[in-house]
Structure 1
Amino acid sequence: MTAQDKFKIIYKTIQGSGIDATVFIPLNSKSSCPVIINIHGGAFMLGASEMVNQDQIQDCLDRGWIVVVPNHRLCPQVDLFNGPMQDCRDLLAWIYNGELERSIHQNSHPHIICDLEHVFAFGTSSGGHLSLCLGFGVSRPVAGILDFYGPCRFDDPFWTTGLPHIAAKLPANLSQEFINHVFAETPVPIRGGVSLEGQAGPAGPNFKDPRQAFAFTQIANGRVMDTCFPSRDWKMVDPILNISPQFPPTFIVHGLADTMVPISLSRALRKEMDKHGVQCQMVEIPDEEHTFAAKMKAA
């Protein structure tokens, strides 16, 4: 196991509030290090950088990679395009502008060099979507993308279909007034409840928290995308509508038993990439539901 160090850094300030990322350094690296951005899941409304799978981080460090795990502003106070997507794109620009390397040097690691020709993005669930969004709409895309069951194809009827197995978990006494307390949170949060992924915190949502109650209500009622991007101008936010021959090489992983983001959506994304000649592979995992990456261990 490679020795590591880590520190937090503010990569963006907006309306007086800082948005941070945790940077993990492979201390045994002797050369320039590739960089991987690891983006948490949480239906764009939940989660935090602390909740990503730590075994996956360690695996990257063992390979000599720098790992950057960002927070981003959470919906619904800000929409998907102007909040999570813009924050992650600003992080990518921050890395390419040399700010990551400068922050590493300022944190007592002057020998570490960032290999900016090899900056990659990886994410699970909504984090997979945000990773894909670093392949278009930016002046310099990432070099490659690892997408674990990220949502896409937002005009599919699935996104307006309720999920009875999630609705069954909602307490009967949840009121609209209570869950709407989420809109009173200020500044716009960058951390919120469970991530639906990762290894932090107790299992299952806390429905005494308005944000968690709000998010799971939207999921149960088939309103995630209408809530997170009310304009429905899908071209702005849907990776499948932005594939071109210049899109970065992409590897997709999806469970065959996924009921939260159906595998048909990733298959459609793979087909669109193939149509445009994008280097793409997809692995379908038998019997796995959504968020199975949380249970993965380093070999």
Structure 2
Amino acid sequence: MFNRVSGPSALGRDAFGVARPHTGEFGELVFDSLVYSAPDGWRPLFMDVRVPSDPRVDSPPPLVLWVHGGSWVHGSRKRRPVDVERAWFIERLLLAGYAVASIDYRLAREVPFPGPAVDVRAALAFVHTHAGDLGFDADKIVVWGESAGAHLGLLTGASSERFAALGGAADHPGEPAPKPAAIVDWYGPADLPRMLATSAEAALGGNPEALRQHADFEQFLSMGWDADAASPERVLQGDCPPVLLVHGTGDTMVPVGESRALAERLGQLDVIHELVELPGGHVFAGSDSMLPAIEASLDFLRRIVGDPFAEVAPELLGDPDEVDPGHRLSDAEVADMRAGFRAGVAEAWGDERIPGVSSRDLTLDGPDGAIGARLHEPDYVPLGRERELPLIVEFHSGGFVVGDLDTHAPSAARLCAATGAPVLQVDYRVTPEHAFPAAYADAVASVREAWARRDDLGLAPGREISRVVLYGDSAGGALALSVALELRSQAEIVVDRVVAIYPVVEWTDIRLWPGMSRYLGAATEAEIDPADPRLRDARLAPGMALELQNLPPVQLAVGSRDRVLEQSLAFAYRLKAAGNALDLQVLPAVPHGFNVMSAATPLFAAAAARVDRLLARRLWEG
């Protein structure tokens, strides 16, 4: 067990306490800043551990020990290359069912060889010792690194005795490093003297950058890194665990020949190995190879240490809704869909009524006539906050085809009770009766009208609206984001935040739900012209907005089984890159539609409750 008694009298890593774990963005259990080693005279070395929590899986997951790159002189457990971050690399491992431990290690300008390699081996020993404390399988630990981190990771494939005999150092006798179950090497150097010769050849042309790199590398090797133990190709033997090598064919920093030579050597040693070559330079720069590299690596892990979802029923993997893009949806089928949706919601909620909430209908002035609305007001609001209430304006889901005030009234009342804030449902126009941009026009008009009438909505005496929350799921989530883009420069309306639950932020990379094509005047998805400028109009697809700066804080929630997960992650990255405050929630095992159907299953109810609780906390903090 962890030593939780720490203080000034403790020594080594025991001097550092273990923080209470918390839930991360992807529903995982997060252990931040665990000290795995505290070498005498050096800084303590930290790791962050993230363990997936998925109700579909009972057994402890395998663990990936992630070793960052940075030419041995840069980087940290918190910093990854931009292309790696943009791909949500660590998070994709969690989604695939693997725990991840990201580590720091001493850098080459802090300590000579074998210091960094000793640190990685110490991290491997730590996670093996504490697998039970952290909740993963000690027999299924994979070391995965990129660039310099891949080089250090490969060295864990050698025994302590072999590593020490060739110029490294023996493991700590009290916690020796075990052999990992597998190693994943992304574009790592395999033989450092050969790398020096390659850099010398590149410097012959007199290029200043090549000359500088060669001088730096020459100095680097003089700090003990010329030992045989520092070159995986020289230190690894036949007892090395299975190795996957993934390399960009256009890599000029670490040439692909490094991986080819190591693969040849592993073959001579009869070590199980695979070499995957993909287009692109270092970190697969200048290509679209990042996602294929991740998937190839995960496929290797599934075959070597096992697929965490191998025992999960197929119907519980992926989004359950199948879409036929060529189907022509008749008006009669639209009517049947609407009736079926109402019946499904009614069956899910049954006779359940949300206590402590009163509801009443009203109308708002719209661009082409009255807009129906329904106000849900909580019996109780936070004490002392009666005159600074948020008004949550809710735009329903339904693919711009189905959904209305009645279908979403139960979930809106649930939201009202959970947050202690009034919720205003908006019955915007839907298709096929109305085409783009009718829904958007109604959404913008309803927010403006509700704000203008905020003192005349019929709230209980003494209550006042001071701010607006734009809230929606699926098509409604897209509307909430589109309205936020429209209103971000209009200071007269105080938009406190946006809550977008599995929003459809782009129309070009998913199969459209039946009937959505009719919102653009097409009978089927196949008849929509890919060059149609409306597909890039932020009023329809907020993910296509060229600029995302200056938005209010965004809470973006999506299930791990949702068909819009990929576009949600891409949009979340852009939101953060634009400087916006973002609360991302990726809810394990949950498909599209859980919000409106939250009463259908305990899993849906728990997912919706997580979204509601976070919103409630944000609304009333401070």
Q: 1:85 is matched with which residue: 117, 125, 141?
A: 117
Query: Alignment partner of 1:20: what SS?
Result: strand
Choose between structure 1 and 2 for higher RCO, CA contacts under 8 A separated by at least 6 residues.
1
- Deviation of 1:231 after TM superposition, in Å, equals 3.4
CA distance in 1, matches of 2:206, 2:93: 33
Deviation at 1:8, TM superposition (A): 2.0
The aligned runs of 1:1-299 (5 Å cut-off) are: 2-6=26-30, 7-14=32-39, 15=41, 17-28=43-54, 29-52=57-80, 53-54=84-85, 55-82=88-115, 84-98=116-130, 100-102=131-133, 104=134, 113-138=135-160, 139-156=177-194, 157-161=197-201, 220-224=213-217, 226-228=219-221, 230-231=223-224, 233-286=226-279, 288-292=280-284, 296-297=290-291
- Cα distance in structure 2, aligned partners of 1:165 and 1:30: 59
CA displacement, residues 276-297 of structure 1 (integer Å, 9 cap, x when unaligned):
10001101112x1112279734
Question: 3-state DSSP class of the match of 2:44?
Answer: strand
| Cα RMSD for the two superposed structures | 2.7
Q: Following the alignment from structure 2 to structure 1, what is the Cα–Cα distance between the partners of residues 218 and 114?
A: 11
Q: Partners in 2 of 1:225 and 1:97 — Cα distance?
A: 38
Partner of 1:193: none
Report the Cα offset of residue 62 of structure 1. Answer: 1.1
- Asked if the contact 2:114/2:225 (under 8 Å) is kept, the reply is no
Structure 1 residue 137: Cα displacement: 3.3
Q: Which deviations, in whole Å up to 9, do the C-alpha atoms of 1:32-79 show, x marking residues without a partner?
A: 111111111101001111123341211111122110000001112311
> Displacement, 1:160?
4.0
2:389 alignment partner in structure 1: none
For the 8 Å contact 1:35–1:115, the answer to whether it is kept is: yes
CA distance in 2, matches of 1:81, 1:159: 22
Query: Which stretch shows the higher mean deviation, 62-71 or 3-12?
Result: 3-12
Residues 48 and 68 (structure 1 numbering): CA distance in 2 closer, same or farther, change over 3 Å? same
**1:49 aligned counterpart, secondary structure:** coil
Identity of aligned residues (%): 25
Quote how far apart the aligned CAs of 1:263 are: 1.0
CA contact (8 A) 1:162 1:222 kept: no
Q: In 2 relative to 1, CA 221–68 (structure 1 residues): closer, same or farther, beyond 3 Å? A: same
Letter in 1 for 2:44: G
**Whole-angstrom CA distance in 1 between matches of 2:249 and 2:205:** 17
1:186 corresponding residue in structure 2: none
Q: Distance in 1 between matches of 2:206 and 2:123?
A: 33
Change (3 A) 1:8 1:267: same
Equivalent AA in structure 1 for residue 28 of structure 2: Q
* Distance 1:38-1:167 versus aligned 2 partners, 3 A rule: farther
* Structure 2 CA distance for partners of 1:231 and 1:25, relative to 1, 3 Å: closer
Please list the CA deviations of residues 117-161 of structure 1 after superposition, one character each: whole Å capped at 9, or x if unmatched: 110011110011011011113352111011011012122111544
| Alpha-carbon shift at residue 163 of structure 1 (Å) | 5.4
Cα 1:35–1:167 shift into 2, 3 Å:
farther
Report the CA distance between 1:264 and its aligned residue.
1.1
Q: What amino acid maps onto 2:38 in structure 1?
A: T
Look up the SS of the partner of 1:114 in the other structure.
coil
Quick one: which amino acid aligns to residue 230 of structure 2?
V
SS in 1 for 2:282: coil
Q: Which structure would you say has the larger Rg?
A: 2
Q: Sort the Cα spacing of 1:293 and 1:129 in 2 relative to 1 into closer, same or farther, 3 A.
A: farther
- TM-score under structure 1 normalisation? 0.72
Q: Equivalents in 2 of 1:165, 1:124: separation in Å?
A: 29
- Consecutive unaligned residues of structure 1, counting only runs of 5 or more, are 105-112, 170-215
CA contact (8 A) 1:79 1:228 kept: no
Asked if structure 2 preserves the Cα contact closer than 8 Å seen for 1:122 and 1:147, the reply is yes
Deviation of 1:269 after TM superposition, in Å, equals 0.4
Shift of 1:271: 0.3
Which consecutive residues of structure 2, in runs of 5 or more, have no partner in the other structure? 1-24, 161-176, 295-565, 567-622
Taking structure 2 as the reference length, the TM-score comes to: 0.36
Taking the aligned partners of 2:70 and 2:184, their CA distance within structure 1 comes to 17
| Residue equivalent to 1:178 | none
Cα distance change of structure 1 residues 232 and 117 upon mapping to structure 2, 3 Å threshold: closer
Alignment: residue pair count: 240
Equivalent-residue separation in structure 1 for 2:178 and 2:142 (angstroms) = 12
Aligned residue for 2:252, secondary structure, equals coil
Asked whether the 8 Å contact 1:43–1:224 carries over to 2, the reply is no
CA contact (8 A) 1:119 1:143 kept: yes
Q: 1:38 to 1:165 in 2, by over 3 A?
A: farther
1 CA distance for matches of 2:211 and 2:75? 16
Distance 1:37 1:255 in 2: 22
